[in-house]
Each structure stands twice: as structure tokens, then as C-alpha cells.
Amino acid sequence: MSMINYASREINCKIVYYGPGLCGKTTNLEYIFEKVAPNTRGKLISLATETERTLFFDFLPVDLGSIRGFKTRFHLYTVPGQVYYNASRKLILKGVDGVVFVADSQVERLDANIESMHNLYENLTEYGLDLREIPFVIQYNKRDLPNISSLDELQRELNPTDVPTFEAVGVRGIGVFDTLKAVSKLVIKALS
């Protein structure tokens, strides 16, 4: 539910990074915050616990600048990944325009990925949204670790609708901007 303000000529779009606990959602936002020019982004707000686990959300606004007279801005959010924070997770999805699912490629996290993906479907359904109809990409993160699932297996388990996917190593920034570029283009397209 992007908001278009014809008076101030602004378009704001909401992109949510979703996925199981410790998959690297916050790491994606931290890398984006670090790398984009300071004049194109706002503050990175993190509502986290003392141990730096996301408690409610992280938030980073990124300005695309003025496009044909419209100041265009993406609001990037993460959700808390841990299972028991579902109430908070659902709140963050309100009004979402695009979703990035960050999957943890490690073999032992496959079930957690699947559970989180189901949870994403369910939570969107409560807002009357269908993941197959909104801008959606998947990032397979932590591809540098030794004990990881094959891409085939991840695709089979997490991507039955064949949405765009990106391999990533979030801590080194690999794949982070490819993912962001893809989802933001899909969101812009969906506006028309």
C-alpha cells in the first residue's frame, strides 16, 4: 500500500525483509546503510534487545531522489525472526509493497526457513495479500559457509512459484544490492 502524495509529490514504498532468526535480515540493512551515499538515506533505527537480536524491527529509509517530479523513497524494514515474535512480525507487514525473504542456507536451518515461509504466507493472508501477487524475491544467504543446502534443494523447498532469487553473503555485502535492486524495481513496476 504505497502512499502517493500528489500535493507534496512524494511516493513512499514499504519493503520488508522477512526470514527466520539469525538469517541476516538486519545485516542486509546494515550493509545498505553503510554503503549508500549518506545524503540518500536516513537513520537506521533498530529496536533490538541487549544482545542485538531484533525485538520489533529495523527501519531504513532510502531516497531514490526526484523521478519525473516525484520524490521517491523506499522504506526498508526487517521483522524479528524468532518464532515467538509473530505478533510484532505481523504488524510490520501492514501495508507492505514488496517482500524479500532472506533464507539461511545452512542445512540445519532448512526447517526454520520453511516454517518462516509458511508464517509469511499466513501473515500476509490476514491482510488479504497473496505472496504470489506482490513483488517478492528470495535471497539465499550465507553461501560462504561449509554446511549449506544445494540451490536445487532450497529452490524446491522455498520457491515453488519461481520468483527471482539471489545468492548472498550478507556480512561481506555479496548479493545485498542485487536483491535490493530487484525488489525495488518490482515495487516500482507494481505501482503503475
Residues that bind other proteins (CB under 8 A): 1-8, 11-14, 35-37, 40, 42-43, 45, 47, 56-57, 59, 61-62, 64-65, 67-70, 72-73, 75, 77, 87-88, 91-92, 94-98, 128-130, 133-135, 173, 176-177, 180-181, 184-185, 187-192
Q: How far is the CB of 92 from other proteins (least distance, A)?
A: 8
Q: How far apart, in whole angstroms, are the C-alpha atoms of residue 168 and residue 125?
A: 28
For helices 110-126 and 86-93, what crossing angle results, to 10°? 50
Q: Would you say 14 or 25 has its CB closer to other proteins?
A: 14
Cα angle 110, 115, 117; round to 5: 95
Q: How far is the CB of 173 from other proteins (least distance, A)?
A: 7
Q: Would you say 21 or 173 has its CB closer to other proteins?
A: 173
Q: How far is the CB of 52 from other proteins (least distance, A)?
A: 19
C-alpha gyration radius of the chain? 16
Question: Quick one: how many helices (H) and strands (E) in the chain?
Answer: 5, 8
Q: Would you say 61 or 155 has its CB closer to other proteins?
A: 61
Q: How far is the CB of 100 from other proteins (least distance, A)?
A: 13
Q: Would you say 132 or 156 has its CB closer to other proteins?
A: 132
Q: Give the DSSP letter of residue 106.
A: B
Q: Would you say 21 or 61 has its CB closer to other proteins?
A: 61
Q: How far apart, in whole angstroms, are the C-alpha atoms of residue 179 and residue 158?
A: 16
Q: Would you say 15 or 117 has its CB closer to other proteins?
A: 15
Exposure b/e, 30-68, CB count within 10 A at least 16 = b: bbbbeeeeeeebeebebeeeeeeebebbbbbbbeeeeee
Q: How far is the CB of 102 from other proteins (least distance, A)?
A: 17
Q: How far is the CB of 160 from other proteins (least distance, A)?
A: 20
Yes or no: say if 133 and 190 are a contact pair by the CB < 8 Å rule.
Answer: no
